[in-house]
């Protein structure tokens, strides 16, 4: 079976108390959520702050563990308030990892196929703006021993490959980012808007190619039948 791993980027997500709390501290990681409500009918989110300010409270969140490296907070909230993670899980997909930087949510999602990712993005965009697919990786079929793939880099122009490779090597896609768009643009000797335009064009082309490959493979599978049918 094939699978899709996607990183969704949601700017200023609605109804996400952890994202709101992140504006008053450093990057947030290791977000976990309880599913069993307490006596007051609330569930709890727990998250870790390793850098920046780590006060005893962040809004409604309270520190439950502290040492010289990290602070873990617990945040009570109403159950079923329609946050991003709940919307993803309602589409039948799995939330693998959640991190937040200054109010922007980075959610790693596991889905069976691209249709699952499309459904998630469509649902989230109905409720708010600022929803993007940051990264998209596809696992090879079980009978293919290749690595995870996205698309053929030859689909890109020389300039697009240069921009993409420089951004990757300088840590633009890391969490948190090791280099800003301005720094990478300076390294490439171009204006920041030019860098972001080339980067967006490269990412769009990669995604279009991946979606095209997915449709072609689906058509081929439909024509050939399942492995058992071909025996």
Across 76-80, 108-112, 114-118, 143-147, least confident range: 143-147
DSSP helix/strand/coil, 42? strand
Residue 37 confidence class, pLDDT cut points 50, 70, 90: confident
Q: Residue 52 pairs with which residues in a beta bridge?
A: none
pLDDT tens-digit profile of 13-27? 988 889 988 888 888
Gap between the Cα atoms of 126 and 122, Å rounded: 6
Provide the CATH topology of domain 153-230. Arc Repressor Mutant, subunit A (1.10.10)
The model carries a pTM of: 0.60
| Whether pLDDT at 159 is above 90 | no
pLDDT bucket at 2, cuts 50 / 70 / 90: low
Mean pLDDT, the chain, integer:
80
Above 90 in pLDDT, residue 71? yes
Query: The tokens of 102 are what?
Result: 């200054």
User: By the 8 A CB rule, do 139 and 3 touch?
Assistant: yes
Query: What are the residues whose beta carbons fall under 8 Å from the beta carbon of 7, sequence distance 6 or more?
Result: 106, 107, 108, 109, 133, 134, 135, 136
Highest averaged pLDDT of the listed ranges 70-74, 92-96, 130-134? 70-74
For the residues 157-176, what does the mean pLDDT come to?
82
Please list, in sequence order, all residues whose beta carbon lies within 8 angstroms of the beta carbon of residue 147, skipping any fewer than 6 positions away.
140
171: phi then psi, degrees, rounded to nearest 5: 85, 25
Range(s) of the chain covered by CATH 1.10.10: 153-230
What's the confidence (pLDDT) of residue 49?
93
The first and second tokens of residue 90, run together, are 């309602």
* pLDDT number for residue 209: 65
Mean pLDDT of 108-129: 88
Q: Cα-flanking dihedrals φ and ψ of residue 136, to 5°?
A: -145, 115
Closest C-alpha to 62, from 79, 77, 76: 76
């Amino acid at each position: 079976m094939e699978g899709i791993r996607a990183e969704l980027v949601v700017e200023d997500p609605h109804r996400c108390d952890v994202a709101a709390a992140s504006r008053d501290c450093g990057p947030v990681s290791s977000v976990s959520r309880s599913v069993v409500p307490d006596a007051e009918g609330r569930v709890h989110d727990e998250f870790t702050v390793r850098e920046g300010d780590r006060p005893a409270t962040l809004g409604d969140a309270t520190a439950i563990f502290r040492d010289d490296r990290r602070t873990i907070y617990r945040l009570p909230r109403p159950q079923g308030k329609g946050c991003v993670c709940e919307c993803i899980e309602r589409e039948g997909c799995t939330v693998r990892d959640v991190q937040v930087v200054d109010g922007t949510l980075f959610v790693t999602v596991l889905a069976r196929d691209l249709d699952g990712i499309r459904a998630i993005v469509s649902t989230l965009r109905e409720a708010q703006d600022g929803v993007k697919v940051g990264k998209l990786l596809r696992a090879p079929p079980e009978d293919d021993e290749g690595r995870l793939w996205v698309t053929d880099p030859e689909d890109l122009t020389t300039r697009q490959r240069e921009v993409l490779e420089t951004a990757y090597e300088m840590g633009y896609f890391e969490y948190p980012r090791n280099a800003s768009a301005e720094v990478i643009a300076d390294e490439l000797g171009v204006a920041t808007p030019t860098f972001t335009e080339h980067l967006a064009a490269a990412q769009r082309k990669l995604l279009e190619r991946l979606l095209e490959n997915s449709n072609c493979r689906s058509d081929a599978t439909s024509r050939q039948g399942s492995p058992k049918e071909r025996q």
